[in-house]
Amino acid sequence: MVDLLAQYADAAGPSVVDHLKQLALPLKGLRVVHVNSTRVGGGVAEILAKLVPLKQELGIDATWEVISGDDGFFRTTKTFHNALQGNTVSPTSQELRHYEEVNSENAGRMRELLESANIVFVHDPQPAPLLDQVPKRRGKWIWRCHIDVSRRYQPVWDYLSPFLKEYDASIFSLAAFAQNLPHTQYLIPPSIDPISEKNMPLEARDVQCVQEKFGIDPSREMILQVSRYDRFKDPVGVIQAYRLARRFSPGLQLVLAGGGADDDPEAAEVIAETQEAADGDPDIRVLLLPPDAHLTINALQRAADIVLQKSTREGFGLTVSEAMWKGKPVIGGDTGGIRLQIIDSHTGYLVSTPEGAALRIRFLLHHRKRLEEMGTRARDFVRDNFLLTRHLREYLTVMLSLADEGKDRIELS
Ligand code: UDP
């Protein structure tokens, strides 16, 4: 049990872990439930897979539940996702009814747990109506929003907000996403796990094996984007940037590495669009990876000269910190949580167009020293701000303040 925390002491420093133990003392034995809509694929699952065992190790009775739904349900929730990130789309009233029914079925299945829990974290819009279905709840409920809702499509927000208003608190990743809600809103950016297969140090030969497996020539430069195939991640824009940059670096290779997520029915279309844009170019690899390809992604991030995350909307973008942790400069879309991680021209570059991305790729590939210095600053910045230990500390603080709500004084350390 204690081993897990000891490993974090190595990565983040022993005082960080001591602080976590101290904060968790008053929370020992508390029943805490996290609910989301997929066990694999995407950043939320990635974080919960580590956060929940760590809470358990700190003595908190934490569990992770996943709601189930059919294709129609996930099509509707994908429409929510798109609308909350700015597309002018709404589900039909029949689809909304089905969305509520599926949540009601899930609430029935988990009723005992949800009623008795001291604290429930509900992640993103998919399970948001659960609270409405648990009138006898005992604990505090928190809605955790992981997506960029700063330019949300109003009709969809108007539909969802009555469900959200019932919560005791909400958490957004950054100030720009906070909403007009009648409860306390906490701002907590996500994090990466430094000891996971995705981020742990690798031997050079492990990286070479992955290069060989995918036919990547290690003697030529390579740029990479790791992302679910989702239009907001702009894989086609990455291909355009690569084509422009290749004029100045003729040996340049591009790897797009991704897969779908169980709750994302649009992935197949986006993969087809991406392959069409790649147009059979032998130096572009469009990889479809299984959800547990963590070591492969780790190796690809280490093999890359530069990593791109050219999203046009992004709640946070774990892939940005993942690459920065490996000492890579990231060229990222000037949007959402990417702005928290990339300090422009310091830990990476923020761009808005394929042309802008190409210009930065060209600059870095022709100034290797600058590329390496930027990578070193990027790693330091992630160590100080975006490791799981900081994230857990902030969750514990929210739990303490909610568990003690009403008290005049809340002791945090
Ligand atoms: N990821 C993965 N396999 C893939 C694509 C992405 O394991 O094929 C991981 C990626 O390394 C990151 C997470 O899924 O840890 C994606 O999180 P992010 O915040 O970047 O984007 P989201 O998918 O949540 O929009």
Domains annotated on the chain, with CATH: 4-191+387-403 (3.40.50.2000), 204-385 (3.40.50.2000)
- The response to whether residue 258 sits with its C-beta less than 6 Å from ligand 1 reads yes
Is it the case that residue 390 has pLDDT exceeding 90? yes
CA–centroid distance, 228 to ligand 1, in Å, is 6
| For ligand 1, atom 6: residue with the closest CA | 227
Instruction: Tell me the C-alpha distance between 270 and 234, whole Å.
Output: 9
289 Cβ below 6 A of ligand 1: yes
pLDDT tens, position by position, 131-170:
999 999 999 999 999 998 999 999 999 999 999 999 999 9
User: What is the number of H-type helices and E-type strands within the chain?
Assistant: 16, 12
Q: What is the pLDDT of residue 408?
A: 76
- Mark 74-93 as b/e (b = at least 16 C-beta within 10 Å): bbbbbbbbbbbbbbeebbee
- Check pLDDT > 90 for residue 33: yes
- Give the chain's mean pLDDT: 94
State residue 405's pLDDT score. Answer: 76
Euclidean distance between CA atoms 367 and 365, whole angstroms: 6
Give the span between the Cα atoms of 18 and 9, in whole angstroms: 9
**Distance (Å, rounded) from C-alpha 149 to C-alpha 139?**
27
Give yes or no for residue 411 having a pLDDT over 80.
no
Distance CA 320, CA 314 (A): 11
Mean pLDDT value across residues 363-384: 97
pLDDT at position 215: 97
Q: Is the pLDDT of residue 291 over 90?
A: no
Q: What is the pLDDT of residue 315?
A: 87
Where are the alpha helices (H) located in 110-264, listed in sequence order? 111-116, 154-165, 204-213, 235-246
Q: Which two tokens stand for residue 316?
A: 């946070």
330, HSE (Cβ side, Cα atoms, 13 Å): 33
Query: Any idea which of 67-71, 161-165, 383-387 has the lowest mean pLDDT?
Result: 383-387
Closest residue by Cα to atom 10, ligand 1, is 319
Q: Per-residue pLDDT tens for 103-133?
A: 999 999 999 999 999 999 999 999 999 999 9
Q: Could you tell me the pLDDT band of residue 1, with boundaries at 50, 70 and 90? A: very low
Residue range 225-231: average pLDDT? 95
Classified as helix, coil or strand, 370 is helix
42 lines ligand 1 (CB under 6 A): yes
% of the chain exceeding 70 in pLDDT: 98
Q: State yes or no: pLDDT of 381 exceeds 80.
A: yes
Closest residue CA from atom 9 of ligand 1: 42
User: Does ligand 1 lie within 6 Å of residue 125's CB atom?
Assistant: no
pLDDT of residue 260: 67
Beta bridge partner(s), residue 32: 62, 119
Tokens representing 63?
Answer: 């569990």
- In this structure, the residue with its CA closest to atom 4 of ligand 1 is 258
Contact criterion met (CB below 8 Å) for 345 and 371? no
Testing ligand 1's pocket by substitution, the residue of 37, 46, 255 carrying the most ligand atoms inside 8 A of its CB is: 46
Cα-Cα end-to-end distance for the chain: 23
- Ligand 1 pocket: which of 226, 232, 325 to mutate (most atoms <8 Å of CB)? 226
pLDDT score recorded for residue 409 = 78
Burial class (CB in 10 A: 0-12, 13-18, 19+), 16: middle
Residues 60, 28: contact at Cβ < 8 Å? yes
163 vs 139: CA distance, rounded Å: 17
Q: Which atom of ligand 1 is nearest to the CA of 46?
A: 15
Ligand 1: atom nearest CA of 319 is: 20
**Rounded to the nearest whole angstrom, what is the distance from the C-alpha of residue 226 to the centroid of ligand 1?**
7
pTM > 0.85: yes
